[in-house]
Structure 1
Amino acid sequence: MLYYLFDYLDKTLDISGTGVFQYITFRSGLAFILSLLLSTIYGKQIIQFLQRQQVGETVRELGLAGQNEKAGTPTMGGLIIIFATLVPVVLFAKLHNIYIVLLIVTTLWMGTIGFVDDYIKIFKKDKEGLKGIFKVFGQVGLGLIVGSVLYFSPAVTVRQDTTTTNIFKVQTENVVAQAPVEEKSTVTTIPFFKNNEFDYAELLAWTGDGYQKWAWLVFIPVVIFIITAVSNGANLTDGIDGLAAGTSAISVFALGIFTFVSGNIIFSNYLNIPYIPNSGEMTVFIAAFVGALIGFLWYNSYPASVFMGDTGSLTIGGIIAVLAIAVRKEMLIPLLCGIFLVENLSVVLQVGYFKYTKKRFGEGRRIFLMSPLHHHYQKKGYHESKIVTRFWIVAIMLAILSIITLKLR
């Protein structure tokens, strides 16, 4: 809202200094600072409220060191992340921007699913929480909304050829061409390859002429799959203090670089990537989100004063997925979110191998001492703070490698 106020003051009253709100970097900086302050200052009050409501974590008997001490620690801490993200976004972002609208919807949608799940676990005393089928329905529903908007909305366009424009309007960082050639497209990018654009519509080329108009039959299911997979991956990663919040902050920061350069025609031209008009505005949301995650870590670092619960983990996964899809970097997710991937794989491999060996040998065998992977290292005797720190280091390495794919082809 402050963006519109200062835009009015700049254009109508011509007050000196008010034009600074046109800059994405300025508003992103303010969003980051405010979200960090909100999450650290008001986070304590939210934790105290959760304690009064007896919103305590029920700990399963896993035989892990220090696990029993966590019983009763407040959960639903994802409310801190959601609150500290949305307030700066509402204040500093362009609320009419289609990408900002999608991200706000994603935050509230996934946050609601996670909240219901946590509510059932805590107040209904059902350790299983929301039944898996309902979670999947919720994730599929969000995927349908996001996929449909990105495919059908006229506000979502891509400009693949940025080399033909010679005249630019360079007043702010929101650089646009005077005569942009923008089009609807299902193009995405394949990392590490030259001429790395891939169009989902090409998968239907075998159907004959006019296949492009049916591209939504491929694009929307892909969006649904990505949102479901990444949100579940984030959920599995939320197992020890600071792991999910820290690794997510690193991945989201990297996505912020992608959104900024993809939304700027000069940078996208230099890096030879598709220019996505208006996508740079997502940088403001990302700055607020990263600030909220870091502020949450103030209370979630070992020993945690609060857990994010599914309210936070599902929201984090959904936001990361939508950001990657919107900026056409979804094929980087296995690399950028490598921690989520290995956590997911460890569970799939563990369960699959156990069932296979039980059927073949009559006794189930395990690949890991325990899954997800972070519990395997706990079983081996590593302290959870050491595990988290090392996972953060790996996440930083993966984020850097993801960023250099902009030039490494």
Structure 2
Amino acid sequence: MLYYLFRFLEQYNIPGSHLWSYISFRALLALIFSLVISAWFGEFFIKWMKRRKIFETERDPSIDPFGVEKKGVPTMGGLIIIVSILVPVLLLGRIRNIYLILMVVTTIWLGFLGFMDDYIKIFRRNKEGLKGKYKIVGQVSIGFIVGIVLYLSPDVVMRENVSVPQQNRTEVVKHESVAHKSLKTTIPFIKHHNLSYSDVMSFVGKHKVAAGWIVFVLMTILVVTAVSNGANLNDGMDGMCAGNSAVIGAVLGILAYISSHIGFASYFDIMYIPHSEELVVFLSAFVGAMVGFLWYNAFPAQIFMGDTGSLTIGGVIGVGAVIIHKELMLPILCGIFFVESLSVIIQTQWFKFMKKKGQRVRVFRATPIHDTFRKLDSQLDSTSRYILKGWPHRPFHESKITIRFWITTIILAALTIITLKIR
């Protein structure tokens, strides 16, 4: 809203109004606003929840070998995150931008889905929350909507990067002169090569473009669902998910800025995506909200984000990556989320497989994988055998595990950016 107001005032030569045309100014302002809002609204929200004694179902204190009990801590802190994102974005963003609209819709959609899960857990006293099939339907639905909109909207176009050889054995990267719809996406580590979903479906002949769009929509659904669930699993320790997501959001913001700047896009040999700079404003607000939330969520947590926050966070990351055609880089950037999900899948499937043979065998001491590092031998199921029972050799404090996971995410984030130069 403020963007359009100051752009209007610029016609009358109002001093300072031209600043609103700079994406860097609006992005940094969004970062500051989201930090301030999360700090102010967070304190108000926590006090309001405590006055009404709205707490999460009591967590098992025995899971922490250091005896830290987490009783009476409010949940649904994801509402703080959502408000801290949406208010700066609506004030500072170009709200008619299709990419910004998709990010806002994703935030509200998955925020509501997570809210319903938390509501059932707290007010209905049902520890299971929203049934898994309904969560999947909600995640698949928003993935489908995003994929279809990106397919149908005339504003969603790109200019592909083309390498032009020079006489002195150097190459200059240029972009096609006309923007058009494309099924190309970036493959990490490979130079001068963008994967086209239509090429993947070339075996269907003349229908390969239509088939390519079907694959693209399916990929969007897969990415949104997988990252959303990965973030949800990662939300198991104070500050864990918020800290990791802040780093991931910062990298996506950098990639969005590079993709929206034709000069930087040429330098890094990636596709130029017109009008995607508004994602930088959104992702700046996202990072600010994550860091601001850590003010209250860092150990020992004064509030938990709940599914209201974790499902929203994962969806935002997934949709943001799809919009800038960087979804294939998420396994690196969101490596922590990927490993968390993989550990649960391995543990569950292996246990089921061995149970059919009459044996109770687990792979890890606990899952998601971060719980493995804080589990005592005395807390293990005595009726089960553990393949990796001796790993790790001793339990760690929750705050140490969280910070080490942050460090790992920072390394993966740096590696993600490095892949642009390796290409």
TM range (shorter): over 0.9
Task: Work out which of the residue numbers 213, 217, 221 in structure 1 matches 2:214.
Answer: 217
Q: Which residue of structure 2 aligns with residue 376 of structure 1?
A: 372
Q: Which residue of structure 2 aligns with residue 146 of structure 1?
A: 146
Q: Which residue of structure 1 aligns with residue 421 of structure 2?
A: 407
The alignment status of 1:206 with 2:228, answered yes or no, reads no
In structure 1, how many angstroms separate the alpha carbons of the residues matched to 2:131 and 2:139?
13
Q: Is the 8 A contact 1:147 1:224 kept in 2?
A: yes
- For residues 240-259 of structure 1, the aligned pairs below 5 Å read 240-259=237-256
Letter of the 2:287 partner, please give it. Answer: V
Give how far 1:262 is off.
0.1
In structure 1, how many angstroms separate the alpha carbons of the residues matched to 2:147 and 2:130?
25
Question: For 1:136-168, what per-residue CA distance to the aligned partner results, in whole angstroms no more than 9, with x for missing partners?
Answer: 11011101110001111110001004789xxxx
- For residues 11-90 of structure 1, the aligned pairs below 5 Å read 12-61=11-60, 63-65=62-64, 69-90=69-90
Give how far 1:375 is off.
0.6
User: Against the structure 1 CA distance between its residues 352 and 63, is the aligned structure 2 distance closer, same or farther, given a 3 Å change threshold?
Assistant: farther
1:188 aligned counterpart, secondary structure: strand
1:273 aligned counterpart, secondary structure: coil
Q: Which residue of structure 1 aligns with residue 5 of structure 2?
A: 5
Q: Which residue of structure 2 aligns with residue 129 of structure 1?
A: 129
Q: Is the 8 A contact 1:78 1:313 kept in 2?
A: yes
In structure 2, how many angstroms separate the alpha carbons of the residues matched to 1:161 and 1:268?
8
The alignment status of 1:318 with 2:332, answered yes or no, reads no
Give how far 1:357 is off.
2.0
1:306 aligned counterpart, secondary structure: coil
Letter of the 1:140 partner, please give it. Answer: V
1:63 aligned counterpart, secondary structure: helix
In structure 2, how many angstroms separate the alpha carbons of the residues matched to 1:210 and 1:127?
48
Question: For 1:98-139, what per-residue CA distance to the aligned partner results, in whole angstroms no more than 9, with x for missing partners?
Answer: 100000000000000000000000000111000111111101
In structure 2, how many angstroms separate the alpha carbons of the residues matched to 1:346 and 1:180?
46
Give how far 1:344 is off.
0.6
2:366 aligned counterpart, secondary structure: coil
Q: Is the 8 A contact 2:148 2:217 kept in 1?
A: yes
Q: Which residue of structure 2 aligns with residue 333 of structure 1?
A: 330
Extract unaligned runs of 5+ from structure 1: 165-176
Give how far 1:195 is off.
1.8
2:112 aligned counterpart, secondary structure: helix
Q: Which residue of structure 2 aligns with residue 197 of structure 1?
A: 194
Q: Is the 8 A contact 1:324 1:330 kept in 2?
A: yes
Give how far 1:386 is off.
0.2
User: Against the structure 1 CA distance between its residues 357 and 67, is the aligned structure 2 distance closer, same or farther, given a 3 Å change threshold?
Assistant: farther
1:69 aligned counterpart, secondary structure: coil
In structure 2, how many angstroms separate the alpha carbons of the residues matched to 1:89 and 1:321?
18
Question: For 1:202-231, what per-residue CA distance to the aligned partner results, in whole angstroms no more than 9, with x for missing partners?
Answer: 122111124213322211111111111110
Q: Which residue of structure 2 aligns with residue 365 of structure 1?
A: 361
Give how far 1:68 is off.
6.8
1:279 aligned counterpart, secondary structure: coil
- Name the count of aligned residue pairs: 395
In structure 1, how many angstroms separate the alpha carbons of the residues matched to 2:162 and 2:9?
33
In structure 1, how many angstroms separate the alpha carbons of the residues matched to 2:58 and 2:258?
44
In structure 2, how many angstroms separate the alpha carbons of the residues matched to 1:57 and 1:118?
8
Q: Is the 8 A contact 1:357 1:364 kept in 2?
A: yes
RMSD: 1.7
In structure 2, how many angstroms separate the alpha carbons of the residues matched to 1:351 and 1:269?
45
Letter of the 2:360 partner, please give it. Answer: G
In structure 1, how many angstroms separate the alpha carbons of the residues matched to 2:330 and 2:67?
31
Extract unaligned runs of 5+ from structure 2: 165-173, 376-393
Q: Is the 8 A contact 2:61 2:70 kept in 1?
A: no
The alignment status of 1:113 with 2:109, answered yes or no, reads no
- For residues 164-175 of structure 1, the aligned pairs below 5 Å read none
2:373 aligned counterpart, secondary structure: helix
Structure 1 stretch displaced more, 313-322 or 194-203:
194-203
Question: For 1:48-100, what per-residue CA distance to the aligned partner results, in whole angstroms no more than 9, with x for missing partners?
Answer: 11222322122343731267721221000000000011000011110011100
Q: Is the 8 A contact 2:106 2:312 kept in 1?
A: yes
Structure 1 stretch displaced more, 265-274 or 97-106:
265-274
